[in-house]
Amino acid sequence: MKKTTLLAACALSVFAAAAVQAQPVVRDGVLADAAGRTVYTFDKDEPGKSNCSGGCLVAWPPFTAKPEAAAKGEFGLISGTRQWTVNGKPLYYFAGDAKPGDRMGDGQGGVWHVISSKPAAKAAATSAYTY
């Protein structure tokens, strides 16, 4: 049991380290990171504030910014955690997505969603971002 927990923690730490990224972009009609991994919003969040903690963060790691990243347009950053937001909604990855382009988290629990709205997609496609 302890070995499984340790392996899960190691996998999460590797995923979390890779989760530090530049501003979201549009890939195949939805918001994603620069590598094409889909990002999601959580209905229980408040504007500019994540309400995902504990076990939630294991399944839904936050999409965080590099220290030098600057938010533009509809995109923002939560102070302290530097988690990316779109229109104030914090963004997350889904641990169940195995590869770029997967969208297995969309609709999970009725509260997790991809961002595919045209205004957000248009802003992401035309916004400049820094690494």
In the chain, % of residues over pLDDT 70: 73
Residues 6+ apart with CB under 8 A from 60: 40, 42, 52, 92, 93, 94, 95, 105, 112
Residue 119's pLDDT is 52
Q: Domain span at residue 57?
A: 2-126
If you average pLDDT over residues 73-99, what whole number do you get?
96
* Paired tokens of 60: 């839904």
Q: Residues 20-32: pLDDT tens digits?
A: 578 899 999 999 9
* 131 located within any domain: no
Residue 16's pLDDT is 42
* 54 located within any domain: yes
Ramachandran assignment for 17, one of left (phi > 0), alpha (psi -120 to 50 degrees), beta (any other)? alpha
3-state secondary structure of 12: helix
Q: Quick one: pLDDT band at residue 54, thresholds 50, 70, 90?
A: very high
If you average pLDDT over residues 60-74, what whole number do you get?
93
* 12 located within any domain: yes
Please count the structural domains in the chain.
1
* 22 located within any domain: yes
Tell me how far the alpha carbon of residue 23 is from its chain's centroid: 10
pTM of the entire structure?
A: 0.75
End-to-end CA distance of the chain: 39
